[in-house]
Structure 1
Amino acid sequence: MTTNAIPPSLGHLSATELLEGFRTLEITPLQVLDTQIERVGLFNGDRETGINAFTETLFDTAREQAAAAGAEYVRLAREGGRAPALLGLTIATKEKHGIAGLTLEQGLAAHRGKIAAVDHPVVERIKSAGGIIHARTTSPEFSCATTTHSPMWGITRNPWNPAASPGGSSGGAGAALAAGFTTLATASDIAGSTRIPAGFTGTVGYKAPYGRVPAFSSLSADWYRGDGPMARTVADTALLASVISGRHALDHGSWGGRDTNPLLPGDVRGLRIGLSITLGDYPVAPEIRENTLRVARALENAGALIVPVELPWTTARIAETIFAHFGHILGPAMAVETAGTEDQLAAYTTRFIADAAAAATRNTLVDSLGMDHALQAELATAMQGLDGLLCPTSAVTALSADGDYLNGIDTPARHLGHYWEAHMTSPFNVANRCPVISVPSGLADDGVPTGVQVVGHPFEESMTFRIASAIESLVPGPGVPLLR
């Protein structure tokens, strides 16, 4: 596997490294923030040709917070005591994670000028843990595409290959992490929107079990959906997960304790790990297949038993299943939210609403529940006796940065009727009590990273992070992209 040997800048250091540096007073939060601000100025560029990872920046306020955090570390070093979990770390939040008094537009012309009344629970918890929100990241309209571009915010590009998308919908988050613009980032996931950009940007993205991360909106009741963390390492992802997860008094769908870091040492000796390269019939690109097998061999050499897993799935069936669901929940919601501005929508949004509506005419909501149950039962059967399941994150190596893919997507093996069939993430939104984390597996020939998913049994977060941590230690990541 080819890796990029460029040494990381201060802006690319992990959260765990930075926290140690802050505690020993060898690094200050302001130094890190200023390095990342400088990188944004040098490399983020414009909305058409640049990386374009942010909807807005909050640098002035962030610099004040970073200076205050540095002073607090000096006080703690002198007087003793424990710093809040994220004190002094930069976090770029997805724009949909509202910040009171700032915009909450979600890339939609219909929401232009809309202001958030309260902080999203993710934002609330980051602030209370001492995190510094210095920027807000781009997404496609209503976070509903696997590329990241919109008429409102322009095109977001992959730092590894500007012609390629960083994925979506949390594409701005993945791009910002890869480029060294932030230390941590928030994301969301209804069909892979955290894991897809993690896979394409050489970063780590975690989809927690449904309800583990609280939210306030009515659509948070959609059981496919969830918010979560992204970072450059498994440990950093676990750190942010530990802060934003847990029961919230105002979200009775949320559950679990607070401040419990799920990361365990990455020892896989004696574990039984399932391996499915295709999850049925996904047309997995040769480079992705080889990188996934490399991960499996590394786990096997470390003492795990790799068990081949067969699943009776097809991409067409999975697409029909998720669009039946969307046809009764997300599609109608989007139609309501965008009413009167249809002529201003991105082509992919118009297509999504139409596809969801068509699926709803073919399948009732009760039909949809039955389709969900069948996939869940088949996954449960396949995972019996296993400690986790390993599979690729996406079947294709890249998507075009500005692509709409209205006619599906061509792969070397066959044409896929819907481009969402190119990603191997949505079955685990159907089975949304399963924790799933995407970690890097290598690079493809086009210079874009590839990823693998670790799928855990329902609610078994610790084992999922344990296997992911082992992969990270055994298989070197792609490194740092060369930016010009």
Structure 2
Amino acid sequence: MHALGAVETLRSFRARELSPVEVLDALLDRIHADDGAALGGRAMDGEGSANAVNAVVQVLEGSRAEALDAERRYARGEYDETLGRGSSALLGLPVATKEKHGIAGETLSQGFFELRDDRAPADHPVIERIRAAGGIVHARTASPEFSCATVTHSKLWGVTRNPWNRELSPGGSSGGAGAALAAGFTPLATASDIAGSTRIPAAFCGVVGYKAPYGRIPGLPPLSADWYRGDGPMARSVADTALLTNVLSGIHPVDHGTVPGHGPLPTEYGDAAQWLVGRRIALAVRLGDYPVHPDVERAVRETTARLVAAGAVVEEFELPWTSAAVRDLTMGHFGHILAPAMRQLTEDMTEVAAYTQRFIDDASTAGRSMSLVDTLAGEARLQADLAAAMAGYDALLAPVNAVDGLRADGDYLDGLEATGPAGGPVRLEHYWQGHMTVPFNVSNRCPVLSVPVGFAGNGLPVGLQIVGHPYAEESVFRAGAAIEAIQPWPLVAA
């Protein structure tokens, strides 16, 4: 049962082939056996087992009572006739949520050891919507401090490891979410993305992650006003990701940046590959000069060859970007918004991770070197470049990560030793240059879906970004479903 998808599980509940209690118990057993998490509702503390995935930081003790209630509702036929709609859209489905998505009365540390006893005053909007749709929050997942790294480890929760290769990281910052999905601890998970924090772990863990257009999924003020950011879903299939996207999306009174959409995304795709026939798709393997690892490039090119064989027209080009310029521009942005917020939060702390302090220092330095108006001008140029490149195409494809993986316990404070396209070593000044995600946070009205497209030699999956035109959400899901149909991926790590 741990490998079942969300839509498949909902159908089984309706047919009375499975019960919510059976599914929840199977997932809790798997968490207990492979993760090292306590099952009594206690947050984890310390390093944990060196062999554990260490993705789950808390199991919610009330989840079984919720599963029993859902079981009774199914027995009474108390669910919407249309699957995935209304108050029964997720009825009885377990959902793992990123710890930063606060639950009223539960701890809310955001990975900081010194905030381990803080409590959330209210449910985060995504928690509120999951519960209103009948979903069961059974587990909470790890992230680095303040979600500010592309690896997932902290003094509070220890090192989160990739189920595909436990010496390597699931990525970050939603690394616990990606690892939990890949390990079969949950069919659905919540994540967040301000520079790639959903797509990076989705790619490294071989699952699907969605960065919705800015404003489609509500966040919490004041930082929800940062136009780079967004909360969102992760799952193991395109349909399951669409299911959770539908539940989370829409105007919310807490977040005045939320916007309406064009209706629910489909959760059934029929002859998905047929969508590809005649579609014009742009391919940007390096987004300028990102040093893409040969294994990553190979997986991306093999997938695009299958798209062409299925009837799509794929044309390759390069954008006039450099990873260093993108780094400087986006760090400048964070120097005016995120770094001051982090400095304010941590100013009285005596123990802060080295990667957290490095992020604050780097972003603050970049913010002093350019005004907010300068960063806006740079963002406008990048957005114009992307719009020109995508003109006449249905979607743009690019790798998620330029690198094939990161060490599970790595800090990468002194940059990153990468492998270039020719197989030789490449030195990157900042580890952010190993990920090709943040340009699409700058162009944050564009929907971006990350899907698996193969494996690197180290055993980690490779992810592909599908970028759509502003707010054209269905297009990236159609493209993702087509790739899933012509090139199915494993559901969980072996």
Which bin holds the TM-score, normalised by the shorter protein?
over 0.9
Pairing partner for 1:208 from 208, 212, 219? 212
| 2:151 corresponds to 1:150 | no
Q: Could you say which residue in structure 2 is the equivalent of 1:437?
A: 449
Sequence identity, in percent? Answer: 54
Q: Give distance in 2, aligned partners of 1:282 and 1:78.
A: 49
Of the three residues 47, 53, 56, the one matched with 1:54 is 56
Counterpart AA for 1:463: S
1:167-210 CA-partner distances (Å, limit 9, x unpaired): 00000000000000011000000000000000000000000000
Query: Is this contact kept in 2: 1:264–1:466, CA < 8 A?
Result: no
1:6 is aligned to none
> Could you say if the C-alpha distance between residues 304 and 81 of structure 1 is closer, same or farther in structure 2, counting changes exceeding 3 Å?
closer
Matched residues in 2 for 1:421 and 1:312: separation? 16
SS of the aligned residue for 1:118 comes to coil
TM-score after normalising by structure 1:
0.95
Q: d(CA) in 1 for partners of 2:433 and 2:192?
A: 19
3-state SS, counterpart of residue 76 of structure 1:
coil
Q: CA deviation at 1:381?
A: 0.6
Q: Which amino acid aligns with 1:107?
A: G
Equivalent residues, number: 471
Q: Which residue of 1 aligns with 2:423?
A: none
| Gap change, CA 1:78 and 1:287, over 3 Å in 2 | closer
Question: What do the CA deviations read for 1:84-110 (whole angstroms, capped 9, x no partner)?
Answer: 100010100001111111111101234
Given candidates 290, 294, 300, the residue that maps to 2:308 is 300
User: Does 1:335 find its partner at 2:343?
Assistant: yes
Q: Which one-letter code corresponds to 2:202 in the other structure?
A: A
Structure 1 moving runs of 4+ over 3 Å: 77-83, 262-265
In structure 2, relative to structure 1, the CA distance for the partners of 1:313 and 1:101 (3 Å cut) is same
User: Contact 2:169/2:405 (CA < 8 Å) preserved in 1?
Assistant: yes
Higher mean Cα deviation, 121-130 or 67-76? 67-76
Query: C-alpha deviations, 1:69-127, integer Å up to 9, x for none?
Result: 11111111899897710001010000111111111110123433211111111000000
Tell me which amino acid in the other structure corresponds to 2:109.
E
**Which runs of structure 2 are paired with 1:284-295 in the superposition (5 Å)?**
284-295=292-303
Matches of 1:325 and 1:311, distance apart in 2:
21
Q: Does 1:448 align with 2:460?
A: yes
Q: Deviations over 1:213-236 (max 9, x none)?
A: 012220010000000000000000
> Against the structure 1 CA distance between its residues 388 and 66, is the aligned structure 2 distance closer, same or farther, given a 3 Å change threshold?
same
2:487 matched to which residue of 1? 475
Compared with structure 1, are the counterparts of its residues 354 and 252 closer, same or farther at alpha carbon in structure 2 (3 Å cutoff)? same
Give distance in 1, aligned partners of 2:260 and 2:351. 41
Shift of 1:321: 1.0
State the alpha-carbon separation in 1 of the partners of residues 491 and 240 from structure 2. 16
Q: Secondary structure at the match of 1:375?
A: helix
Deviation at 1:250, TM superposition (A): 2.8
Identify the residue that residue 357 of structure 1 maps to in structure 2: 364
* Displacement of 1:261: 2.3
Q: 1:72 to 1:283 in 2, by over 3 A?
A: same
Deviation of the 1:480 alpha carbon:
2.6
Q: 2:112 corresponds to which residue?
A: 108
Q: Following the alignment from structure 1 to structure 2, what is the Cα–Cα distance between the partners of residues 438 and 369?
A: 26
Equivalent AA in structure 1 for residue 366 of structure 2: A
Counterparts of 1:231 and 1:468, CA distance in 2 = 13
**Structure 2 residue matching 1:333: 3-state secondary structure:** helix
Post-superposition Cα deviations, 1:46-74, rounded to whole Å, max 9, x if no partner, equal 6251111112111x311111111111111
TM-fit CA distance, 1:252: 1.6
Give 1:309 deviation, angstroms. Answer: 2.1
In structure 1, the partner of 2:400 is 393
Structure 1 CA distance for aligned equivalents of residues 266 and 246 of structure 2: 7
**Structure with higher RCO (Cα < 8 A, 6+ apart):** 1
d(CA) in 2 for partners of 1:77 and 1:345?
A: 48
Cα separation, 2, equivalents of 1:255 and 1:294: 37
Q: Cα RMSD over matched residues? A: 1.6
Paired residues of 1:242 and 1:262 also in contact (CA < 8 A): no
> Secondary structure of 1:411's match?
strand
TM-score for both structures, normalised by structure 2: 0.93
**Equivalent residue for 1:239, pick from 228, 237, 243:** 243
Further displaced range: 397-406 or 306-315: 306-315
| Partner Cα distance (2:434, 2:143) in 1 | 19
Within 5 Å, which residues of 2 pair with 1:14-413?
14-45=5-36, 47-49=48-50, 50-58=52-60, 60-76=61-77, 84-257=88-261, 260-262=264-266, 265=269, 266=272, 267-341=275-349, 343-413=350-420
In 1: Cα distance, 2:80 partner to 2:230 partner: 40
Structure 2, unaligned stretches of length 5 or more?
Answer: 37-46, 421-425
Inter-partner Cα distance in structure 2 for 1:185 and 1:72 = 23
CA distance in 2 between counterparts of 1:78 and 1:23 reads 9
Matched, 1:460 2:468: no
Which amino acid letter does the alignment assign opposite residue 167 of structure 2?
A: A
Aligned-pair CA distance for 1:262: 4.7
Residue aligned with 1:255, SS: coil
CA separation in 1, counterparts of 2:81 and 2:133?
18
For 2:491 and 2:79, locate their aligned partners in 1 and report how far apart those are by CA, in whole Å.
37
Deviation, 1:31, is 0.8
Moved more, 71-80 or 141-150: 71-80
